[in-house]
Structure 1
């Protein structure tokens, strides 16, 4: 039996699984660190008393300290989420349990799940490199290459990349750190500010969607050029909620790359840039994948 925690900016899923089949799941709202983590631990302790866990996997919103060699491993770094900077995510969730455990970003976990059981596992030749982008309250990106998630000094922070702006687009962005980085341009709150209405009320025919597609396409092009990922999946509430936007993005990616990458063209782009096959289960299954890695000794370093 494996335990998983997917810690998001608005809600938390606590789950237990047998293999990669989720058996039980409970949802709690993300409030303060003390309240949220205590409620998650209480669920885990109740389940652990019934059937002890073999391992725990944690996929959390970030930014996180993921270097096990430093004292603040598993701690939340400065974040726009009020009150969460400095929260000891890993230590609090794992302290009561004597079993292997792993922590990574929620998007890295989602990328790993898609690589193993989702879009990356389809066809006769499974993918060896996949990027998972989530566009919702924020913008995050996870990478799973050769069966492992990617990080070094930190984890990837693609949400804060700056991209070339569409001609005439004067929206200043709303990231508190960088203004018009990609998160400041295309996250759910940014879209609500840009269009002047909540996201679900934005008219699909509004011409400003073309500027949004331009921004996302430049992010996708940057990732393909810099990582050579075979697949790039766009998830999250914004990403999965507008299939027409994904079609616009694909066309713009092909145009922006201008034929430089020989494997990216009108015929291949739909296979390369798509929606997550696991849908909204990519995040929870990512926590399970991290627990499996902890059990097998593939720890974050």
Structure 2
């Protein structure tokens, strides 16, 4: 039998199966189109295997409150066709197995905590900066949620004095996602973040916004490690710029680990989400 994983992103679904030791045996990447089209391909993949359970890390917002009538739904997403979609319900109609359900970034944080950059720590934040921005927090092996899951990408920020951009987020404008996500960069610069040069002056502005958010998370949660992933962070020079801005903004107010060890890239590279989903599948009851 196999553990199943679904890393459900707004651009693509990555599905995988592993053995009992969480060694991946097969995986597939599926474009995220409509729920019907996407799940048809998901089902075709998993129907080949005898599953113990499935771990799902989904784009959101999602309803994680098991007492709620809409538990397992993707709720107020701007992703066309997925608004108020009963994701877990659709999976349960197909597979009579336990299903763990959380956000894609929570799953990535879980993977990094156990097998990635934070495996020697008691707590970590994982933040992805890509098409959107989201974050998850793991403390002592547990994903931390409250009334709902964290929405770290929507903390409000002070605009950079040299940035006149109004913000990409339709809800908040000058939130972290609105100012620092991949589409916000493309709006300003006319090309995708991964195609921009390393020495471009814009990266100082990007680092300023990300550093502001990391100071906020540090002061509220005091994590031992902050892990930054996603397509925008493929611009590796951002890490040092963020550390420098972070140090200036925090201004030695509280003690943090050495910044080279505190603000880091994912140890699992692009496999944090799938790994976290498999770990969650193994725990699912």
| Other-structure match for 1:7 | 8
Runs of 5+ consecutive residues of structure 1 not aligned to the other structure: none
Give the conservation status (yes or no) of the 8 Å contact 1:233–1:273.
yes
CA distance in 1, matches of 2:267, 2:132: 21
Matched, 1:150 2:144: yes
Match of 2:266 among 261, 276, 296: 276
- Equivalence map 1:2-81=2 (5 Å): 2-18=3-19, 19-47=21-49, 52-81=50-79
Give the conservation status (yes or no) of the 8 Å contact 2:4–2:16.
yes
Match of 1:287 among 268, 277, 285: 277
| Other-structure match for 1:98 | 96
1:123-148 CA-partner distances (Å, limit 9, x unpaired) = xxx21111000011100101111101
State the shift of 1:84 in Å: 1.1
- Equivalence map 1:250-265=2 (5 Å): 250-264=243-257
User: Could you state the TM-score of these two structures normalised by the residue count of structure 1?
Assistant: 0.91
CA distance in 2, matches of 1:91, 1:145: 29
Matched, 1:228 2:222: yes
State the shift of 1:201 in Å: 3.1
State the shift of 1:211 in Å: 1.1
DSSP-derived class of the 2:47 partner: helix
Give the conservation status (yes or no) of the 8 Å contact 2:129–2:229.
yes
Matched, 1:116 2:109: no
CA distance in 1, matches of 2:92, 2:261: 39
1:62-99 CA-partner distances (Å, limit 9, x unpaired) = 11000010111010111121221111111112322222
Runs of 5+ consecutive residues of structure 2 not aligned to the other structure: none
Matched, 1:243 2:233: no
Give the conservation status (yes or no) of the 8 Å contact 2:129–2:232.
yes
State the shift of 1:114 in Å: 0.6
- Equivalence map 1:123-138=2 (5 Å): 126-138=120-132
State the shift of 1:21 in Å: 1.2
State the shift of 1:198 in Å: 2.5
CA distance in 2, matches of 1:202, 1:27: 26
Give the conservation status (yes or no) of the 8 Å contact 1:13–1:28.
yes
CA distance in 2, matches of 1:263, 1:14: 37
User: Could you state the TM-score of these two structures normalised by the residue count of structure 2?
Assistant: 0.96
Give the conservation status (yes or no) of the 8 Å contact 1:165–1:214.
no
Tell me the matched-pair count: 283
Give the conservation status (yes or no) of the 8 Å contact 1:65–1:75.
yes
State the shift of 1:152 in Å: 1.2
CA distance in 1, matches of 2:136, 2:192: 27
Q: Comparing 198-207 with 17-26, which one deviates more in the overlay?
A: 198-207
CA distance in 2, matches of 1:203, 1:276: 22
State the shift of 1:291 in Å: 0.2
CA distance in 2, matches of 1:58, 1:198: 28
